[in-house]
């Protein structure tokens, strides 16, 4: 994949160890049919990426990140808006609103039309050397009910996290 090294650097700099794959794991999923790793450009310069899973009934944005030098310039919003125009239902995970950054991130997604769903959820560990991470699910264009949440969680666990 073109620009993979630059994307990997942004990925590594943007997510805590517990919330990301190892390099080997990431390389292994690049050829999965349902998975896409997409660069984000601004004025012909790579500024970030987003990684998504097409899970039939919804699109799961597993990761999205903008290089620190280009944050707060509208690149992330533009990328999310482009995704929204292509898919009817979108799911993503966010940290619980326990820190300033987590609260800001949730508000960012809310401004783009996402809804916070307050159901207990844990992102399974990516491997045996990591811990699971308590997170929350956000959905677009509507909140999801408890039954929908269970379906989303089960699909994520099975198809993305392989548990």
Give the H/E segment covering residue 80: helix 75-86
- For the chain, domains (ranges, CATH) are 4-160 (3.40.630.30)
* pLDDT at residue 99 is higher than 90: yes
The string of pLDDT tens digits covering residues 56-95 is 999 999 999 999 999 888 999 999 999 999 999 999 999 9
pTM as predicted: 0.94
Question: What does the pLDDT look like over 14-34, one tens digit per residue?
Answer: 999 999 999 999 999 999 999
pLDDT score, position 73: 86
Q: What is the mean pLDDT of the chain?
A: 95
User: Is residue 35 within 8 Å of residue 52, measured between CB atoms?
Assistant: yes
Q: Which residue has the tokens 């310039």?
A: 73
Q: Are 32 and 49 in contact (CB under 8 A)?
A: no
Q: What are phi and psi of 132, to 5 degrees?
A: -70, 160
């Amino acid at each position: 994949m073109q620009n993979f090294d630059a994307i990997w650097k942004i990925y590594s700099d943007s997510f805590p160890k517990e919330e990301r794959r190892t390099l080997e794991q990431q390389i292994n999923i690049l050829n999965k049919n349902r998975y896409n790793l997409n660069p984000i450009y601004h004025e012909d310069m790579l500024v970030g990426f987003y990684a998504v899973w097409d899970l039939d009934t919804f699109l799961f944005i597993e990761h999205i990140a903008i290089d620190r030098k280009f944050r707060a310039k509208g690149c992330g919003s533009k990328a999310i808006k482009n995704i929204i125009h292509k898919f009817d239902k979108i799911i993503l995970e966010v940290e619980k609103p326990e820190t300033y950054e987590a609260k800001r991130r949730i508000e960012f997604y809310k401004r783009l039309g996402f809804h916070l769903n307050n159901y207990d959820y844990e992102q399974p560990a990516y491997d045996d050397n990591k811990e699971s991470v308590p997170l929350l699910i956000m959905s677009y264009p509507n909140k999801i009910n408890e039954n929908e949440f269970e379906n989303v969680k089960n699909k994520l666990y099975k198809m993305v996290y392989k548990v």
